[in-house]
């Protein structure tokens, strides 16, 4: 099946994503976000997210089918995120996907959320095919991961990941320290426009020589968050007005510096002149600009999918499943569930054996 028609379901966090692809052609990318419901709490509440998925799934599926001009019966397969993510949120998507697959008699592919972010690149309109190997830097509210991708459907290696807060979490927490609304990423970005990124030298986590011996590709943003908190506390204790723009710009610069430095180090160490950026935090303009400028100086080509495909979405899940199908991989059995800590090396979950597929 060279160009399978696949519907993908993504419910790993606070966005209900339904995507439809035909091979590597994107037909629909429908996203229903519950972000506004979480804003009052200053962060994602798992129970709220799961209920929002329940309410959004059916209308989102109907909207995606209408946009793609296809019927459920036309589909060749169903795909779903099995993990990693919030367990309750994942369970909603997994249950819906199994129900659809069984009722329609269609094969089901349970796939990895993080690898899906890489697959988003292959359905980017008018882009050249993704070359392998490539280094992938995935930065979101829940994940900060550096990957060595030698084959999208066969070989994804975890080089490093966050040891504590993900970059997106750090943005949210620092925004709260500065009395900025949730979500913190866009608010920090806006505040930083008028700030000096060199005004305050905040620490770069796991970047000292002693750290690099064991954690060359790992990330840590908890210490940076604490450093910002202490700086703001000292400023307030002395009766000074907190220079929000300078703090935001300096904090953002520290995060961006660490992310780009470690990603380009991986490119250099492994001799890979390609870097793929993915995840919702890639919407940060400073991160994109610095990555592109420093990569160009290092002779590394940077690929960034459209921002609508960087945030969590069902299209990337459908795209990954379509690649699995085209490469001859068998469907998943129903013997899988939501796995909140699914390792990135497990690209597809519960692949059926040859006799089962027959």
Cβ distance 21 to 8 under 8 Å?
A: yes
Q: What is the pLDDT of residue 35?
A: 87
Cβ distance 163 to 220 under 8 Å?
A: yes
Contacts of 73 (CB under 8 A, 6+ apart): 104
Q: What is the pLDDT of residue 356?
A: 55
Contacts of 216 (CB under 8 A, 6+ apart): 160, 262, 265, 269
Q: What is the pLDDT of residue 358?
A: 43
Q: Round to whole Å and give the CA distance between 278 and 116.
A: 10
The pTM assigned to this predicted structure is 0.96
Print pLDDT tens along the chain (358 aa). Answer: 679 999 999 999 999 999 999 999 999 999 999 988 998 888 899 999 999 999 999 999 999 999 999 999 999 999 999 999 999 999 999 999 999 999 999 999 999 999 999 999 999 988 899 999 999 999 998 899 999 999 999 999 999 999 999 999 999 999 999 999 999 999 999 999 999 999 999 999 999 999 999 999 999 999 999 999 999 999 999 999 999 999 999 999 999 999 999 999 999 999 999 999 999 999 999 999 999 999 999 999 999 999 999 999 999 999 999 999 999 999 999 999 999 999 999 999 999 986 555 4
**7 to 74, 313, 316, 351: CA distances (angstroms):** 10, 11, 10, 18
The conformation of residue 162, written as its DSSP 8-state character, comes to B
- The position carrying tokens 């059916």 is 58
Q: What is the pLDDT of residue 274?
A: 98
SS (H, E, C) 307-338: HHHHCCCHHHHHHHHHHHHHCCCCCECCCCCC
Q: What is the pLDDT of residue 29?
A: 98
């Amino acid at each position: 099946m060279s160009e399978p028609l696949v519907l993908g379901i993504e419910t790993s966090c606070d966005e209900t994503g339904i995507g439809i692809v035909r091979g590597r052609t994107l037909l629909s990318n429908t996203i229903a976000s519950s972000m506004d419901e979480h804003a009052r709490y200053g962060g994602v509440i798992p129970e709220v997210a799961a209920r929002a998925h329940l309410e959004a799934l059916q209308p989102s599926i109907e909207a995606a089918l209408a946009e793609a001009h296809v019927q459920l019966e036309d589909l060749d397969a169903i795909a779903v995120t099995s993990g990693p993510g919030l367990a309750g949120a994942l369970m909603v998507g997994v249950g819906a996907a199994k129900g659809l697959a069984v009722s329609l008699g269609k094969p089901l592919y349970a796939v990895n959320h993080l690898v899906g972010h890489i697959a988003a690149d292959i359905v980017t309109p008018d882009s050249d095919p993704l070359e392998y190997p490539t280094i992938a830097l995935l930065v979101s509210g829940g994940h900060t991961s550096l990957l060595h991708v030698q084959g999208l459907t066969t070989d994804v290696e975890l080089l490093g990941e966050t040891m504590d807060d993900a970059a997106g979490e750090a943005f949210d927490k620092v925004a709260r320290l500065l009395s900025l609304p949730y979500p913190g990423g866009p608010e920090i970005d806006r505040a930083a426009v008028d700030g000096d990124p060199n005004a305050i030298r905040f620490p770069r986590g796991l970047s000292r020589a002693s750290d690099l011996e064991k954690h060359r590709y790992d990330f840590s943003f908890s210490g940076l968050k604490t450093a910002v908190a202490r700086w703001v506390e000292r400023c307030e204790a002395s009766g000074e007005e907190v220079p929000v723009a300078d703090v935001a710009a300096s904090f953002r610069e520290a995060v961006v510096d660490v992310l780009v430095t470690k990603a380009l180090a991986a490119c250099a160490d492994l001799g890979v002149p390609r870097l793929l950026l993915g995840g919702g935090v890639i919407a940060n303009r400073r991160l994109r600009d610095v990555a592109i400028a420093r990569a160009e100086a290092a002779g590394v080509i940077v690929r960034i999918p459209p921002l609508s495909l960087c945030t969590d979405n069902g299209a990337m899940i459908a795209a990954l499943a379509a690649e699995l199908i085209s490469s001859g991989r068998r469907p998943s059995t129903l013997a899988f569930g939501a796995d909140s800590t699914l390792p990135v090396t497990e690209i597809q979950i519960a692949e059926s054996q040859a006799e089962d597929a027959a």
